[in-house]
Amino acid sequence: MQCPVGDDAIRATNDDASECKRCAINLGYWQDKFINFFVKAGERKAPEINRGYYARCTAVGLLIEQFIKRVGEECQIINIGAGFDTLYWRLKSNGLLVKNFVEMDFPNVTAKKCYAIKRNKTLLEQIHSEDGEVKFSPTDLHSANYHLVGVDLRQLSNVQKKLVDSEIDWSVPTLLLAECVLVYVEPEHIRSLLSFLASQLASALFVNYEQVNMDDRFGQIMLSNLRARGCALAGVEACRDLASQQQRFLDTGWDGSKAWSMEEIWNMLPREDRNRIEKIEFLDETELLQQLFQHYCICIGWKDRGQESLSLADLRIDP
């Protein structure tokens, strides 16, 4: 079989991420009643991969939960490069409601997600509201508080238009999420996107999960593996180290930024949770897991000047 290249290879990373999540969820790492509606079972993944996904999902979840608790439910979430992520449905089924939720990805990816939602009663039920109808186009979906839009992040004017179509309110506290997305996009496009968001939003938290320490030997091997799969990783320069991850926010108008390697994050998660996870799949040898944890990070950027009461700079991973 021929390997996809360029944008096709980038879109294919969503299939891989969704399969990895489904594998870890079905093994009991965390709960998600919705992932199986979007992706079929694939091969069983290595324990290191499953544990890595658990650490990422848990840490991102903790930040999202704290954000909603701090700013209240009158807030928005924009998931950039959302793929088949199920966050909207998971939050809703946990009773965490937000005013508006927007997902963006390439139109080919959102078309598949629209199709999956349209033919699934459980997914649709969570989107329907008493007053609103659900409007579908082949690539976009608009409802009262959930919007799924197809757009190339490199085309800022289209991104702006799609956000307007999704009824974004720039005055409302907004959480932006990008998990393994920015690394695929040329730095100038990410800078424009981050500057635009910082200039429009009065208060916001950006949660970015992706590669870090890409200049060392292990990082170079990771890069060449991804390149062999056709992914050029155009945005890798921001993944040099934790400082370069933070600097990208500081250079584009955000008030502050903080970054943790996944190694630090794993050690911040509650001991009882780590004990449970370590029993799901036992690891004789933890060197590979450590290397993986050292090469991924979460970097947050915030904007809350004039709204110090939100104290977004104090958000923590260790609960």
Ligand X SMILES: C[S@@+](CC[C@H](N)C(=O)[O-])C[C@H]1O[C@@H](n2cnc3c(N)ncnc32)[C@H](O)[C@@H]1O
Q: Distance of alpha carbon 58 from its chain centroid, rounded?
A: 12
Q: 10 Å Cβ neighbour count for 202?
A: 14
At its nearest, how many Å lie between ligand X and the CB of residue 60? 9
At its nearest, how many Å lie between ligand X and the CB of residue 25? 12
155 vs 286, which CB is nearer to ligand X?
155
At its nearest, how many Å lie between ligand X and the CB of residue 20? 8
Pick the closest to residue 176 from 208, 147, 151 (CA basis).
208
At its nearest, how many Å lie between ligand X and the CB of residue 16? 7
At its nearest, how many Å lie between ligand X and the CB of residue 190? 10
At its nearest, how many Å lie between ligand X and the CB of residue 154? 5
78 vs 310, which CB is nearer to ligand X?
78
At its nearest, how many Å lie between ligand X and the CB of residue 59? 13
183 vs 201, which CB is nearer to ligand X?
183
157 vs 171, which CB is nearer to ligand X?
157
**Longest pairwise C-alpha distance within the chain:** 56
CA atoms of 229 and 182, how far apart (whole Å): 18
Looking up tokens 């994050």 gives 265
Looking up tokens 């009262």 gives 144
154 vs 274, which CB is nearer to ligand X?
154
* 156 contacts: CB under 8 Å, gap ≥ 6: 189, 192, 193, 196
At its nearest, how many Å lie between ligand X and the CB of residue 109? 5
99 vs 154, which CB is nearer to ligand X?
154
15 vs 263, which CB is nearer to ligand X?
15
179 vs 304, which CB is nearer to ligand X?
179
List interacting residues with ligand X (CB under 6 A): 10-11, 13-14, 17, 81-83, 85, 105-106, 109, 152-154, 179-181, 184-185
Pick the closest to residue 312 from 75, 66, 57 (CA basis).
66
